[in-house]
Amino acid sequence: MSEDNTPLREIRINPIVPSESVLVATARAMRPRKDEDPAPRDTRRHVERCPFCPGNEAMTPPTIMAVPNEENWRIRMVENLYPVLGETPGGGLAFGLQQAIDGYGRHEVIIDNASHGIAIHEMDEAHLALLFGVYRDRMAQLYASDTRIRYVLAFKNFGPAAGASIAHTHSQIIAMPVVPENLHNELLNSRQHYQKYNQCIFCSLIDEALTFEATIYDRVSGEIRRKISVGQYVVERGEHFIAIKPFASRYEWEVHILPLQHDSDFLNITDEARADLARVMRRTMARLDAVVGGVQYNYFLHSLPRSEAYADCQAGFHWHLEICPRTSIPTGFELGSGLFVNTISPEDAAQQLREVSLDP
């Protein structure tokens, strides 16, 4: 709802990728149908037959990396049993206009925690900092290992509603021979913005989120029509990171986490910043879990690809983590129009998230 409680209905343009837009429609009638709640997530600590639970290491492909060690691991990385991309691409069907790129790459699973059903906000911050360190180290290794790798995507599906097929908490890393389309669009658009205004659009959006204040007066009567308050999109703020509710959020509870200082590449993160990212992440996830109630989500990292083609995107692109809670299923309208429908105004959602009281 907007401030005077009239339903909001507007198409919001994504400031970073203007070809993408979202229909914010808060009237109940527009609510996408959701017949039943998503299947509940598994909250058990240990499951005897789970391949990712400690003691069952023999049930998974070999360990790639274990932290701190293989016997007493807190985080463990293995090959994916059913990789979407692999060392031996199965191609050869390209013909005429039907061109293809070999499905070369690597697909790995990071078992985030030895505890089976633990949620991110239940993990301690030191553990989360360790997990981000594992993402960073493995991404760097994969880029260094093969020049055909154009992008290394780190992501997490949590809960059946987010497509997680194994209940044990885990993340995934996919090293790809192409740069994902959505990231490519962000890179090109932010480069264009930088060339035009000499400013990183992400930095400008952070500045706006932190300091923007405006009063809109009625043109005829001169009365105040609307006040936009300071920080209305800020969900959480740390020393080095900020969690923001995007103005054109595709998902009702979507939140992005960005470093406050400009940096295009997640791989540059310092240990001190990593600790703060862990804190901002834990607190943001705790807010989402409280508001949504057992939040199920996808998150992924968008960072500068290690590719010559994007070398001049450094000044204009700002790495970020996108968290997309899954509370509804895309409908035919969304698939057919490419227009996401968001039924909660991002301003409202941000306020609800901020109002959750957390332990310090």
Q: Which residues bind Zn ion (CB under 5 A)?
A: 47, 50, 52-53, 116, 168, 186, 200, 202-203, 262, 302, 318
CA 66, CA 17: separation in Å to the nearest integer?
38
> Is position 240 annotated in a ligand binding site?
no
Residue partners of 225: CB distance under 8 A and separation at least 6: 216, 217, 218
* Closest separation in Å from C-beta 305 to Zn ion: 12
Cis (ω within 30 of 0) for the bond into 68?
yes
Task: Characterize 123-158 residue by residue with b for buried, 16 or more Cβ atoms within 10 angstroms of its Cβ, and e for exposed.
Answer: bebebbbbbbbbbbebbeebbeeeeebbbbbbebbb
For residue 184, say whether it is annotated as part of any ligand binding site: no
Say if residue 313 carries a ligand binding annotation.
no
Map residue 115 onto helix, strand or coil. Answer: coil
Could you tell me if residue 198 is left (phi over 0), alpha (psi between -120 and 50 degrees) or otherwise beta? left
The answer to whether 269 and 277 have CB atoms below 8 angstroms apart is yes
* Pick 25 or 152: Cβ nearer Zn ion: 152
Q: Which is nearer to Zn ion, 52 or 247 (CB)?
A: 52
Binding site annotation covers 320? yes
Minimum distance of Zn ion from residue 320's CB (angstroms): 6
Minimum distance from residue 186 beta carbon to Zn ion (Å):
5
Whole-number Å distance between alpha carbons of 307 and 179: 9
| Three-class SS state of 326 | coil
Residue nearer to Zn ion on the CB measure, 76 or 287: 76
Q: Which is catalytic among the residues 170, 193, 240, 256?
A: 170
Q: Is 107 a catalytic residue?
A: no
186 is in an annotated binding site: yes
Report the nearest approach of Zn ion to the CB of residue 60 (Å): 11
Sign of CA dihedral 226, 216, 346, 13: positive
**Residue set of the binding site:** 50, 53, 116, 168, 186, 302, 318, 320
**Residue set of the binding site for Zn(2+):** 50, 53, 116, 168
List the catalytic residues. Answer: 170
